[in-house]
Amino acid sequence: MYIYLLLFFLLGVLCSFFIEILGYRLPIGEYIFKKSTCDKCNHELKLYEKIPIISFIIQRGRCNYCHQRISKLYLFIEILSGILFALTYLSFQESGILKLVFGLLFITSLIIICFSDTKYMIISDEVLIVFSSIILLLKLFIGFYNEEILNLMDLGYALIDIVIDVVIVYLIMFAIKKIGDLVFKKESLGKGDLKMMAYIAIVMNFKLCIVIIFLASFIALPFAIISNLKKDKPMLPFGPCLAIATMILFLLQVDFNSLLELIH
């Protein structure tokens, strides 16, 4: 099993290159297939400078041309991607290849959201639309494959259930945003956070999404307190907190009934 964990860790590290491209370029409207360059001096990177983790170590965290420090966020995302891919394998290794692929795609989308929201405080619509489509189709296909969906009527009911979950979660987030805006006299949540939770509702039902919102709030609390103590009081992205809370419940394969039993 350990060799598979290592392989999936390496797969995650390799995929982090594409995760960073999508998370870095889509939010600011850059062409995703353009050549990679240094953030500071815009010098085109050589092949070895694009290798995740290794390039950071070889370059000692600095650009070879302008000698400015490379953001440690890139290194963090590369290591995080490897760890999360390994954990996804660990969680879904006995669930079949389809659910494993489903899990890897969902985790990948959450990592991209973490990266872009941390760097720009933007959650890209393109990422949400593309992954929503892929995740929805794959979820329905898994339902057919496992004979949970047997005919068009079952398909219709499954789609209705998903739409209801998405609408309920979006309305809950919208209500939280409006209340937060009134209380804090400023924008408390971005539109991207609302759309993100609607996307998560495709995978997790609305009951679990409510748990995710509460858990994300607790994760964000210490950062909010620290931020509030600073003079400039910078805005904090909530997307990464929602993503972390979602990853915890998703990788542990928690369902709402088991949570109720745990509370009782």
What whole-number percentage of the chain has pLDDT above 70? 95
Domain end call among 74, 94, 114: 94
SS3 143: helix
Question: How high is the pLDDT of residue 71?
Answer: 82
Residue type, 27: P
Q: Judge if 128 and 254 occupy the same domain.
A: yes
Mean pLDDT to the nearest integer, 232-244: 84
Residue 114 resides in a domain: no
Question: DSSP class of residue 260?
Answer: H
Q: What confidence tier does 15 reach under pLDDT thresholds 50, 70, 90?
A: very high
The answer to whether the CB of 175 falls within 8 A of the CB of 138 is: no
Q: Judge if 2 and 83 occupy the same domain.
A: yes
Residue 111 resides in a domain: no
Question: How high is the pLDDT of residue 38?
Answer: 73
Q: Judge if 87 and 151 occupy the same domain.
A: no
Q: Judge if 178 and 240 occupy the same domain.
A: yes
127 has pLDDT over 80: yes
Mean pLDDT to the nearest integer, 112-123: 90
Q: Judge if 179 and 263 occupy the same domain.
A: yes
Q: Judge if 79 and 203 occupy the same domain.
A: no
Domain end call among 94, 109, 142: 94
Q: Judge if 82 and 212 occupy the same domain.
A: no
| Per-residue pLDDT reduced to its tens digit, 146-167 | 888 988 899 999 999 999 999 9
| Per-residue pLDDT reduced to its tens digit, 56-108 | 888 878 887 887 888 888 889 999 999 999 999 999 998 889 999 999 999 99
Domain count, the chain: 2
Domain end call among 75, 94, 113: 94
Q: What is the pTM of this model?
A: 0.91
Q: What is the mean pLDDT of the chain?
A: 87
Residue 103 resides in a domain: no
Q: Judge if 240 and 182 occupy the same domain.
A: yes
Residue 138 resides in a domain: yes
Q: Judge if 186 and 256 occupy the same domain.
A: yes
Q: Judge if 89 and 138 occupy the same domain.
A: no
Domain of 227 in residue numbering reads as 122-264
What does 161-202 look like in DSSP terms, one character per residue? Answer: HHHHHHHHHHHHHHHHHHHHHHHHSS--S-HHHHHHHHHHHH
Question: How high is the pLDDT of residue 253?
Answer: 86
